Amino acid sequence: MNRMPNFFATSRFPAACLLLTLIQTTSLAADEPVRIDVRTPLSPPGWALMERALLDANAEACRKYFAHYFDERGYLLCVERWGGDDGPDDAIENCNDWPILHALGAHDDVLAMYRKALEGHFRQYTEAKTTDVPFARDGMYYKEFPVKFDWLHNGEGLTVFNLQGLSDPNNLNFRQRTRRFAGFYMNEDPQAANYDPEHKLIRSLFNGSRGPLLRKATGLDWAGDPIEVEGRFLPRHGENTYEQMVEHFKDYNDVVGDHPSNLLATSLAMNAYLLTGEEKYRDWLLEYVDAWNQRMRDNGGIIPTNIGLDGTIGGETDGKWYGGVYGWGFTVLDPASGTMANRSTFQSGFVGFMNAYILSGGDDAYVDGWRKQLDIVNSHAKTEGERTMYPTKYGDEGWYAFVPSPYSPNALEMYYLTMDDRDRKWLGNNAWLDYLAGKNPQYPEQVLQADFAKIRQRHQMMRDDTTTPDTRLADDPMPINPASVNSLVPLMLGGIHPGHRGSILHCRVRYFDPVARRAGIPEDVAALVEKLSADGMTLTLVNSNQVEARDVQLQAGGYGEHQFDSATVDGETVTIDSRLFTVRLAPGCGTRVQFAMTRYANEPTMILPWDR
């Protein structure tokens, strides 16, 4: 028997039609969606029309950008190089955010273009070889993966690939690569013995498809082969000569042993688990993250930045827990400016803890260590005049590099995961969170306008670009990439942008078109997440098409990790008890829905709803 409670319009949604809700009274399977029919007329608000226009503007700008900077094979039109200043990772970063853009609902052309760019990229940088850098002489990529490099760069280079599964999990090449890439860190490939299962560590900061680099790195290893610079290229790190490029990296030597940035490699196992559901990927990921959690405890609550091959803290850096390239104490000369530069990447390792948080069903142990670390670091603040100064680095002389703002890396990510007020204190002002709290109702249109402006500005930058393929480095077009999703991720998905470090997408809701059988919100439909809490979400859906109905399928979480418990419209509540929820929006209709949700209640998956 079906229940059909009546939901009448409020002053926000004019009373003209009845909203019919069909609920099955029998027990629902986890992926069996409840459906409601929305027949309440709602003239599309400004934000709704702007969202739809922004998706279209993004797609059009990406088409022009792709035609200008890529050839028919998907190769980037540039001079291929290896290195930390300009290398393979930069080449594919020119399509950053395109997978998110398509998964939001942009035209299928966006998927086709970044898929072609990925295929071209893997071929292009397998063919590209070094002369002087020893480990890339047979190809910068081997088995379609970087031969060996650090995870600041590996993570950046995998940003597009690691999000391909949002829209394209059935792609055969993606499925094969997902397993292969994860296997490089699970000792499934004898040529890539990156992981030590006894000590639960990745054996070097440099790692990849040809295994770890178990010697000190050189400036050449980082900077790449000699290159003509003056009069031809403008390296984006400020160097004027190749000699300065090498000098930039002359002190980047201590790479042997594990480093927190290697936790970014867990996104490979995460993707493999999301794709296959095989427990071995979850087990390895949690084992590795648990080992780092223990190291934080053993080091007095602060994550160490070198773990020796014997498993000891600071084992390859004379016992210094803060040692190693990109460590707590890594301050080096910047030859371009002639000043000392503080460079650390260990904060990015929190991505691994975020992956573990999802797979563990929201276990607070994967946040608590980082929460305590912020408290410890900020407890060493000092007063200078009337200002409180907070440390950001630790070296032989103790804490240094004091700044006037609290030390707060990953504060937003922690708060987003937990929705716990304890994790808000170091976050400071945040316009999006203020909007969710009921402040600044103009916020959606303001941030959407900013993304329109960014597309326009970047398209003009492309028109003004005078580089040619033989005077263009791989990272030259990166600032011109027009894909602009910074407003759409929080507004439509209630999510946080994953950054460009190979992370998966963390969000409260995603959309699918059950008619077109594709990821993304259907044509003409717009969505706005108006409130988020630990156990709920308020969402408005609008169909801007005045003559055609639209079906939209909602998923709780980026990968179905959450659960819709119930939905309330106009004071009437119905049970959902599923991670999926289908809405049919009559022409020109819309509604606001208040969801009760249980977060991290389900096993996450990237399998599309109709394939489960």
DSSP string, 465-503: ----GGG-BTTTTGGG-----TTHHHHHHS-B---SSS-
Which amino acid is present at 314? G
- Beta partners for 313? 307
Give the pair of three-digit tokens for residue 371. 């929460």
* Dihedral, CA of residue 176, residue 181, residue 187 and residue 191, to nearest 10: 90
Residues 378, 382, 387, 390, Cα dihedral to 10°: -30
Cα–Cα distance measured from residue 150 to residue 206, given in angstroms and rounded to the nearest whole number = 5
Per DSSP (E only), the strands in 169-325 are: 195-196, 201-202
What's the CA gap between 341 and 45, in Å, rounded?
48
Calpha distance 155→149 (Å, rounded):
10
Residues in Cβ contact with 207 at an 8 Å cutoff, skipping those fewer than 6 apart: 148, 149, 151, 154, 184, 185, 192, 194, 213, 262, 265
Kind of pairing between the strands at 580-585 and 34-38: parallel
**Helical packing angle, 443-464 and 46-69, nearest 10°:** 20
Encode pLDDT of 500-533 as tens digits: 999 999 999 999 999 999 999 999 999 999 999 9
Residue 236 has what pLDDT?
79
Structure tokens at 105: 């609902």
b/e per residue 311-323 (b: at least 16 CB within 10 A): bbbbbbbeebbbb
Tokens of 298: 């053993």
- Burial of 110: CB neighbours in 10 Å, binned 0-12, 13-18, 19+: buried
pLDDT tier at 18, thresholds 50, 70, 90: very low
Confidence of residue 34 (pLDDT cuts 50, 70, 90): confident
101 alpha carbon, distance to own chain's centre: 13
Given a cut of 70, whether residue 149 has pLDDT beyond it is yes
How would residue 198 be classed by pLDDT, with cut points 50, 70 and 90? very high
Question: CA separation (Å) from 1 to 4, 22, 449, 522, 582?
Answer: 10, 10, 48, 30, 19
Q: 566 in helix, strand or coil? A: strand
Where residue 241 falls among pLDDT bands split at 50, 70, 90?
A: very high
Residue 503: burial class (beta carbons within 10 Å; 0-12, 13-18, 19+)? buried
- On whether the CB atoms of residues 109 and 61 are closer than 8 A, the answer is no
Predicted local distance difference test score (pLDDT) of residue 171: 98
Q: What is the pLDDT of residue 31?
A: 66
What are the tens digits of pLDDT across the range 87-103? 999 999 999 999 999 99
Q: Has residue 32 got a pLDDT over 90?
A: no
For residue 447, give the amino acid letter. V
Please return the burial class of 549, using the count of CB atoms within 10 Å of its CB with bins 0-12, 13-18 and 19+.
Answer: middle
Least confident of 163-172, 207-216, 331-340: 331-340
CA distance 487 to 139: 39
Mean pLDDT of the chain: 94
Tokens found for residue 31: 């992926």
pLDDT digits (tens, 9 = 90+) for 413-422: 999 999 999 9
How many CB atoms neighbour CB 53 within 10 A? Answer: 13
Inter-axis angle of helices 350-359 and 365-378, nearest 10? 150
Check pLDDT > 70 for residue 21. no
63-77, 159-173, 211-225, 335-349: segment of lowest average pLDDT: 335-349
* C-alpha 132, offset from chain centre: 33
Name the percent of the chain lying above pLDDT 90.
91
What CA–CA distances, in Å, run from 410 to 145, 159, 210, 354? 28, 18, 31, 10
Res 33: pLDDT:
73
Mean pLDDT of 276-281: 98
> What pLDDT does 1 receive?
31
Over residues 11-39, mean pLDDT? 53
Using CA atoms, how far apart are residues 525 and 285, in angstroms rounded to an integer? Answer: 37
Predicted confidence (pLDDT) at residue 2 exceeds the cutoff of 60: no
Of all residues in the chain, what percent carry a pLDDT higher than 70? 95
430-482 pLDDT tens trace: 999 999 999 999 999 999 999 999 999 999 999 999 999 999 999 999 999 99
pLDDT score, position 17: 41
Closest CA to 546 of 506, 587, 591, 514: 587
Q: How far is CA 21 from CA 9, 37, 574, 581, 587, in A?
A: 14, 6, 8, 11, 17
Rounded to an integer, the average pLDDT of 18-33 is 44
Residue matched to tokens 């700008």? 61
| Residue 309 one-letter amino acid | L
Q: Report pLDDT for 80.
A: 98
- 342/393 Cα distance (integer angstroms): 8
Asked if 19 and 38 count as a contact pair (C-beta separation under 8 A), the reply is yes
CA pair distance 554, 125, nearest whole angstrom: 38
pLDDT of 385 > 90? The answer is yes
Q: Residue 29 above 50 pLDDT? A: no
**How far apart, in Å, are the Cα atoms of 196 and each of 200, 242, 259, 288, 378?**
5, 36, 13, 10, 34
- What span, in angstroms and rounded, lies between the C-alpha atoms of 560 and 537? 15
604 with 358: CB under 8 angstroms? yes
187: tokens are: 């000792």
DSSP state for residue 217 in the 8-state scheme:
-
Query: 534, 548, 547, 526: which is closest to 592 by C-alpha?
Result: 526
Does the pLDDT value for residue 5 go beyond 60? no
H/E element, 399: strand 398-400
Q: Is 29 exposed, middle or buried (0-12, 13-18, 19+ CB in 10 A)?
A: exposed
- Does the pLDDT of residue 19 top 90, yes or no? no
567 pLDDT exceeds 60? Answer: yes
- What is the radius of gyration, based on Cα positions, of the chain? 25
Fold of 49-480: Glycosyltransferase (1.50.10)
DSSP track, 529-550: EEEEETTEEEEEEEE--SSS-E
Question: How would residue 336 be classed by pLDDT, with cut points 50, 70 and 90?
Answer: confident
pLDDT in tens, 285-319: 999 999 999 999 999 999 999 999 999 999 999 99
Distance CA 522, CA 553 (A): 9
